[in-house]
Amino acid sequence: MIEVNCNLCGRDDWQVRFPATLSEDGLDVSAFRCTNLGYGHHAQIVQCRHCGLVYANPRWSPEELLAAYEAVTDETYVAERPGRELTFRKHLQALERFTGAGNGRSLLDVGAYIGVFVEVATAAGWNACGVEPSAWAAAEAQRRGLNVVQGTLDSPVLDGRFFDVVTMWDVIEHVADPAAELQKAWQRLKPGGWLVVHTMDIDSPVARLMGSRWPWLMDMHLYYFSQTTMRRMLEKIGYRVVWSGAQGRYLRLGYLASRVYGLNRPLGSVARWLVNQFGLAEKPIPVNFGDLFTVYAVKPTGAHN
């Protein structure tokens, strides 16, 4: 594992916010699944004394992380597709209030996984494509005829291409260098184009209330932004932040019960029994604890790469 400086201000001056709960014996690829139940298992999490950014330190090298994401498979995510589709339809509706309708305009989804958002956006009239490091996930998307390629924002397939919208749904917290990824997104955006970033809020009331029991403290999460630190990072690059706020998601009750089981087995067992007893496993419900937020930011007209 390697030590890193703050990704926002560059300093190496931090205090421990949450001590490590993992050993350093090896990297478990299964821990990097989107649906992993490893709540509370994480590297040491620190907070910069100067700018307040919260991040895992020390942590795995960028090469190890990319290899893990390239190798990951996640059949549970496929089973949860209906809930994801509903979530992304709601996200797209919110997005289009800022960007306007697709009408054939270009959209790039970074970390597209099995391509659910690409599929939803395409159906709504966007010329949508995605990049995804997982070979398995990219293949799942391609199997459905979706324009998703295995790779990252560094992929040669993106050379010379510019987009009206770039989206990052639950991605920025996983990358080794968020500032660099946001800069790469800037370079892929047309002037006047929109960047949409969705991630966890370490300063939300529920995160502060739960402390070390906050379920998003996991080894696959390297950065824990607040709306303030995310805004600062985006503005440092040159983006103009238009709106930032809490935005939840839809989950099937059966999937939600499995998440509860990962946090508390006795309570989760009861939740699973009730859901199955009343045949509610497939019922989607809105879930919003206020600890997930979305930022809509613009690359100003006239800005250059």
Among 7-11, 79-83, 278-282, the range with the most confident prediction by mean pLDDT is: 7-11
Confidence at residue 82, expressed as pLDDT on a 0 to 100 scale: 80
pTM over 0.85: yes
Structural domain includes residue 305: no
Confirm if 43 and 2 have CB atoms less than 8 A apart: no
Structural domain includes residue 261: no
Amino acid residing at 54? V
Dist. CA 55–CA 17, nearest whole Å: 9
Domain count, the chain: 1
- Write out pLDDT tens, residues 65-76: 999 999 999 888
Dist. CA 260–CA 271, nearest whole Å: 8
Say whether pLDDT at 59 is over 70.
yes
- Domain interval for residue 86: 14-248+288-298
DSSP 31: G
Q: Which residue has the higher pLDDT, 32 or 157?
A: 157
- Write out pLDDT tens, residues 21-37: 986 656 778 788 887 77
Confidence at residue 259, expressed as pLDDT on a 0 to 100 scale: 64
* Residue found by looking up tokens 């859901």 in the block: 275
Mean pLDDT of the region 225-251: 94
Dist. CA 217–CA 212, nearest whole Å: 7
Structural domain includes residue 154: yes
Say which range, 23-27, 39-43, 102-106, 264-268, has the weakest mean pLDDT: 23-27
Structural domain includes residue 6: no
Confidence at residue 273, expressed as pLDDT on a 0 to 100 scale: 74
Structural domain includes residue 197: yes
Confidence at residue 263, expressed as pLDDT on a 0 to 100 scale: 65
Dist. CA 61–CA 295, nearest whole Å: 27
Say whether pLDDT at 255 is over 70.
no
Confidence at residue 31, expressed as pLDDT on a 0 to 100 scale: 80
The values of phi and psi at residue 158, to 5°, are -90, -5
C-alpha torsion sign, points 80, 171, 175, 227: negative
Query: Could you tell me the CATH number of the domain that includes residue 78?
Result: 3.40.50.150
Confidence at residue 77, expressed as pLDDT on a 0 to 100 scale: 83
Mean pLDDT of the region 267-286: 73
Structural domain includes residue 304: no
